[in-house]
């Protein structure tokens, strides 16, 4: 069975500060890993996806994530937070075969303070 744990249901950063959202996964098979963002009253938008091609994955809006197998982690970072980054972020895992449904973490709400 696969699972995802997102540490911190709410993270608050100052504008211009580093954003770090934590995600640890559990999977008995090689995983696909994802980060999604959800703005209020909207659906989810894919930020980035790990498919084993490279451990450092660059996504949209300046976000990136690093896959660390030894730590079973896939933390999301952005060097400098913008007010527009305020949203809810979800980490998700699927099996490498791609045939299992996405399993999502509980989400982390990011607040950006001016």
Q: Which residues bind to another protein, rule: CB under 8 A?
A: 31-32, 36, 41-46, 49, 90, 94-107
Cβ 114 to another protein, closest distance in Å?
A: 27
C-alpha angle 12-17-20 in degrees, rounded to nearest 5: 60
Instruction: Tell me whether residue 18 or residue 96 sits nearer to another protein (CB atom).
Output: 96
Instruction: Tell me whether residue 46 or residue 113 sits nearer to another protein (CB atom).
Output: 46
Cβ 50 to another protein, closest distance in Å?
A: 10
Cβ 112 to another protein, closest distance in Å?
A: 22
Instruction: Tell me whether residue 17 or residue 49 sits nearer to another protein (CB atom).
Output: 49
- Do the Cβ atoms of 2 and 94 come closer than 8 Å? yes
> How far is residue 103's CA from residue 33's CA, in Å, rounded to a whole number?
10
60-65: long-range contacts (C-beta < 8 A, 24 or more apart)? 61/85, 63/19, 63/35, 65/23, 65/33, 65/35
């Amino acid at each position: 069975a696969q699972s995802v744990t997102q540490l911190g249901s709410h993270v608050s950063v100052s504008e211009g500060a580093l954003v770090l959202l934590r995600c640890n996964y559990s999977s008995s098979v090689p995983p696909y890993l994802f980060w999604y963002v959800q703005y209020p009253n909207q659906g989810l938008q894919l930020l980035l996806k790990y498919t084993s091609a490279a451990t450092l994955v660059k996504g949209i809006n300046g976000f990136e994530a690093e896959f660390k197998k030894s730590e079973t982690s896939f933390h999301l970072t952005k060097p400098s937070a913008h007010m527009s980054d305020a949203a809810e972020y979800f980490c998700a895992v699927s099996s490498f075969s791609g045939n299992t449904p996405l399993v999502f973490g509980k989400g982390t709400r990011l607040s950006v303070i001016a």
